[in-house]
Amino acid sequence: MEAFARTGEAIRATNSKLEKTRLLGEYFAGLDDQTLPLAAVYFAARPFADRDQRKLNLGYAVIRQAVCEIAGVDEGVLGESYMRHSDVGDVIEEVLAGHTHPQPTSLRDVHETFVRIYEQRTIKKKAEALRELLDRLSPREAKYIGKILTGDLRIGLRAGLVEEGIAKAFGAPLADVSWASMLTGDLGEVASLARRGELRSAQLRLMHPLQFMLASPEEDAEAIMRRVGGEAWVEDKYDGIRGQLHKEGDRVVLYSRDLNEVTAAFPEVVAAAGAVPHDLLLDGELLAFKDGVVRPFFELQHRLGRKVVSAELLTEVPVIFVAFDLLYLDGRNLLTEPLRERRRMLDDLSLPSPFMLAYLIRALDAVELDRIFEGARARNNEGLMVKDPESRYTPGRRGLGWLKLKKALATLDVVVTGVEVGHGKRKNVLSDYTFAVYDEAADRLVNIGKAYSGLTDVEIAQMTDYFKSITLKDYGRFRLVQPEIVLEVAFDAIMESGRHDSGYALRFPRIKQIRRDKTVREIDTLANVARMHRAFTGDRVQLVEPAQA
């Protein structure tokens, strides 16, 4: 542990990325076979490898208790120290100075303690195990335990540098190290493989999140056809939550786009996956789906962050998992297989409900592709994903294998009814606009939203003067104005809401332009809004039931 802390301090002391990598490489190269994997994982500020199911989830309370006991101080002392350093590791070093009984401690000893902490069920027992470890370390070594436990070493070692250190230590190509790390989710194993020159034998392991493949934006059918070659595969761009589902034996884990585990929030998907007689890794999108239609994104948000999903919520917001890719099946890594093959295997799985498959249309030229785009626009859907059927799955990259065509969905012409001063540098100008549509039945304007951005500073300044001149009533920050300025407002969705008197609200409204060519008589009606709302909650996207695939 002494050498680990010493290396950490040396890395912290230099700003040169090259020098940090060199120090790390030199340290790794000098370690024995048992210590090397632990050191690699600890330098990534993890008590266990990412793939490891064991998570310590050690709150500050446990650390505080252990440190207070050793130093014989109360919590206030730690609090003051924290105000000075803003780093738990530094607090530990300062508070423990002169209070521990250092003896030589190996990284294997540290590992054993981490396992013990993991196995203990109570905070008291966890703190006890941690106290025993910290007590036999120097304050500087103890500091690094704190840093590992809080998941950030704060020595300027950004993600990726550990991989570079491993490459440097054993003369391996960085690309091989990164690839192996992505497949295994275990930097310790990667370091060992690198030492033995066996990086290329790394196997894809389930139960740790793989980076998602991303798409590059493209707007024109001709350009897309040039990129993907002879054939383009077009899928709807579903507006839900990206999901990655792993199943191994009877265990199922679900990760979201930010690589966090969301298994508990989607029990019906997990249960259905559990019944599939294969080990697999699916990529797809989670959508709220009720009575045969996809529901708007915000309904899905009710399901997120749940540890337990109530029976009511399960019936209120049912979800489906729309699978569009298969990356692993029964021991076979499919990442380097062409999409054509991956999709064939996905179709053959006949996944049970609530799994669905992305609806796939094949286009052979730009004319066909344009026709498909038109169809999607008519359905009012979010956009399209175009994929090259010959492409591999490239985790974490915005490659050219996938292209996205995303249109600002829909716009409304509205009239400004009120204006308000902004915030920050806009605190002296009227930059926040409340706007309305026309309710024909009641023959009145009804507010539907408020937008803050989209105009240039010059435009805002001009509009400020103008709005002052048409102010009906000045309430201080807010002014009611004569409804005559028409805006074209873009947004992502329409939802029912009691916030405005129209009964609707817009998701992410932004001002596209001032429609000086339009008068208030030409703005959108409430009936239009209701119709668009139905389109949003209705069948904007196409799906396939797996059995019919």
Which residues are at the interface with ligand AMP (CB under 6 A)? Answer: 212, 214-215, 235, 237-238, 242, 257, 285, 324, 358, 385, 404, 406
111/404 with CB nearer ligand AMP: 404
For ligand AMP, which residue has the nearest CB?
Answer: 242
- ∠ CA 230-371-488 to the nearest 5 degrees? 125
Smallest separation, CB 283 to ligand AMP (Å): 8
Smallest separation, CB 380 to ligand AMP (Å): 15
358/506 with CB nearer ligand AMP: 358
1/213 with CB nearer ligand AMP: 213
Smallest separation, CB 101 to ligand AMP (Å): 52
For the stretch 154-192, what's the b/e string if a residue is b when 16 or more beta carbons lie within 10 angstroms of its beta carbon?
bbebeeebbbbbbbbbbebeeebbbbbbbbbbbbbbbbb
Residue 237 is a catalytic residue: yes
Distance CA 347, CA 421 (A): 55
Phi, psi of 252 (to 5 degrees): -130, 135
- Alpha helices by DSSP H, 150-301: 161-170, 174-184, 187-195, 221-228, 267-274, 297-301
Instruction: Tell me, rounded to whole angstroms, the distance of Cα 368 from its chain centroid.
Output: 34
65/244 with CB nearer ligand AMP: 244
Distance CA 12, CA 90 (A): 13
- Residues ≥6 apart with Cβ < 8 Å to 260: none
The 3-state DSSP class for residue 452 equals coil
Smallest separation, CB 382 to ligand AMP (Å): 8
Q: Which of 143, 237, 404, 512 is catalytic?
A: 237
129/281 with CB nearer ligand AMP: 281
91/363 with CB nearer ligand AMP: 363
Smallest separation, CB 373 to ligand AMP (Å): 15
Extended strands (E) in 267-331: 280-290, 293-294, 319-329
Asked if 489 and 448 touch (Cβ cutoff 8 Å), the reply is no
Smallest separation, CB 325 to ligand AMP (Å): 8
Take residue 470 and report the two structure tokens written for it: 């048409």
The set of catalytic residues is 237
